């Protein structure tokens, strides 16, 4: 394990990030100090997974530590695809699914968000938390994530954006130097790309250095 390096190398940061999100008090403080953001918003957003009916298909990309799985209820009967480009991160996600007792609903999948091996319109909910800023081509990622959604399906997620102010520039610089952040995009670009893919009811609101977004596919 390395302190720095890309996600394939399972950097120490990956485990630290997962631990912080799992431990709400310490994590909440770190979120507040590091990003000026409210970790509670992430917890609130993943609850949408738990409101889906049995048989609904979820794509969690990038699943990473499997944070969005916190939203799954044991016995809910979801078809939950946990996708990530890094096998090491998928091992983490699988461990999370077991710990939460929801592994019977979860299918791990090594996949590049830029070329998802899923049919058009085959997914009810795409969960993409703290992912867009890590992808090498965020525009392509948005196109792919919306492509797999059925009409009326929802994309919900969070990301660091380039236009959240100078106060968050150090976090962006450190993440880029550490090799865990991609080129990122602005909030305006993200909203434009969602609209171009035909999404409606697009909401994007900032919490410090993070933006939370949600949109409905048509
Ligand atoms: C901040 S982390 C994990 C986020 C995850 N939602 C979580 O809450 O733990 C970002 C993840 O993006 C993944 N990733 C980076 N580029 C990717 C790509 N092109 N396709 C799929 N996953 C990618 C990394 O492997 C890493 O697990």
Tens of pLDDT, residues 146-160: 999 999 999 999 999
Q: CA torsion, points 159, 161, 164, 170, in degrees to nearest 10?
A: 90
Q: Where are the domains of the chain?
A: 41-216
Instruction: Quickly count: other Cβ atoms within 10 Å of residue 13's Cβ.
Output: 19
Record the tokens describing residue 110, joined without a space.
């090594």
Please tell me the pTM assigned to this model.
0.94
Q: Among residues 159, 157, 199, which one has the least CA distance to residue 60?
A: 157
Q: Is 10 in the pocket of ligand 1 (CB under 6 A)?
A: no
Q: Among residues 177, 118, 181, which one has the least CA distance to residue 153?
A: 118
Residue 150: asked if its preceding bond is cis (omega within 30°), the reply is no
Task: Tell me the residue ranges of DSSP E strands in 85-217.
Answer: 106-110, 123-128, 149-160, 200-207, 210-216
Q: Is 185 in the pocket of ligand 1 (CB under 6 A)?
A: no
Q: What is the residue with the minimal CA distance to atom 3 of ligand 1? A: 64
Q: How far is the CA of 67 from the centre of ligand 1 (A)?
A: 11
> pLDDT digit string (tens) for 70-111?
999 999 999 999 999 999 999 999 999 999 999 999 999 999
> pLDDT digit string (tens) for 46-66?
999 999 999 999 999 999 999
Domain 41-216 has CATH 3.30.56.10: no
Record the tokens describing residue 179, joined without a space.
């090799």
* Ligand 1 atom at minimum distance from 112 CA: 20
Record the tokens describing residue 8, joined without a space.
């394939």
Helix (H/G/I), strand (E/B), else coil: 213: strand
Q: Is 179 in the pocket of ligand 1 (CB under 6 A)?
A: no
For residue 1, the model assigns a pLDDT of 41
> pLDDT digit string (tens) for 33-48?
989 999 999 999 999 9
């Amino acid at each position: 394990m390395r302190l720095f390096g890309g996600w394939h190398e399972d950097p120490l940061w990956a485990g630290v990030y997962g631990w912080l999100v799992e431990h709400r008090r310490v994590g909440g403080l770190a979120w507040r100090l590091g990003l000026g953001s409210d970790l509670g918003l992430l917890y609130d957003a993943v609850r949408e997974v738990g409101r889906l009916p049995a048989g609904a298909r979820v794509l969690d990309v990038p699943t990473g530590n499997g944070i969005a799985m916190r939203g799954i209820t044991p016995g809910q009967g979801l078809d939950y695809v946990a996708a990530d480009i890094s096998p090491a991160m998928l091992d983490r996600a699988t461990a999370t699914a077991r710990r939460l007792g929801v592994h019977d609903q979860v299918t791990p999948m090594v996949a590049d968000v830029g070329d998802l091996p899923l049919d058009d319109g085959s997914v009810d909910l795409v969960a993409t938390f703290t992912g867009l800023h890590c992808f090498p081509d965020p525009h392509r990622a948005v196109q792919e994530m919306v492509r797999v959604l059925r009409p009326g399906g929802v994309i919900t997620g969070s990301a660091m954006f380039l236009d959240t102010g100078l106060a968050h520039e150090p976090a962006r610089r450190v993440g880029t130097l550490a090799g865990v952040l991609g080129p990122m995009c602005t909030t305006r670009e993200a909203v434009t790309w969602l609209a171009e893919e035909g999404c409606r009811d697009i909401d994007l609101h900032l919490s410090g250095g993070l933006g939370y977004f949600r949109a409905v596919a048509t």
